[in-house]
Amino acid sequence: MTDAALTQKYVVPYYMNRTGSTDESAREFVEVARTASADDVISLLSNSGWREQRVGALLALVRDETSVRAALFAGLLAARTAYAVSHLVVTVYEVAGADGIPALEEYLSTVITHDPQSTTFVAHAIDLLHGRPSDADDATLREFAELHTAAQRIRAAVRG
């Protein structure tokens, strides 16, 4: 699918939508997301735009394949705004679990242009995956919990 077609089908309707905020919205999203190929998801994750990366992360919750995971990890390292990073991190946390720790740690150690919100968000996910207490602020804790709950709803809708 062309970039313009991907944008119209997936990005425009979902980049600011509270996808997964209810069981119904999760089911509706999964129905549409199942039409995305792994290449479509990889294309969105590889895009430099935060909207595309954000929706790519949501689609990766549905298309959990080896090639998509690799693009998810690479997309995290390429992300430059908290708008994308938060969704990418929660998707890494949800689909990869402890296998995602190296990508999260690499983000913290190699990405030079961190914004403080993204750094806190990534560090919080690493702490959770290691089973350590997190010193994240209340806003980060709330946002992570909200996005993680939505991710879990989407994954549950995938399983039926």
pLDDT in tens, the chain (160 residues): 788 899 889 998 887 877 888 999 999 999 999 999 999 999 999 998 999 999 999 999 999 899 999 999 999 999 888 889 999 999 999 999 999 999 999 999 887 666 788 899 999 999 999 999 999 999 999 999 999 999 999 999 999 8
pLDDT for 104 equals: 96
Please report which residue ranges of the chain form alpha helices under DSSP H: 3-6, 12-14, 23-33, 38-46, 50-60, 66-78, 82-91, 101-110, 116-130, 138-159
pLDDT for 112 equals: 64
Residues 6+ apart with CB under 8 A from 149: 20
pTM listed for this prediction: 0.94
Q: How many domains is the chain built from?
A: 1
Structural domain harbouring 142: 3-159
Q: What is the CA radius of gyration of the chain?
A: 14
Distance CA 94, CA 90 (A): 6
pLDDT for 117 equals: 83
Residues 6+ apart with CB under 8 A from 102: none
Residue with tokens 């199942």: 34
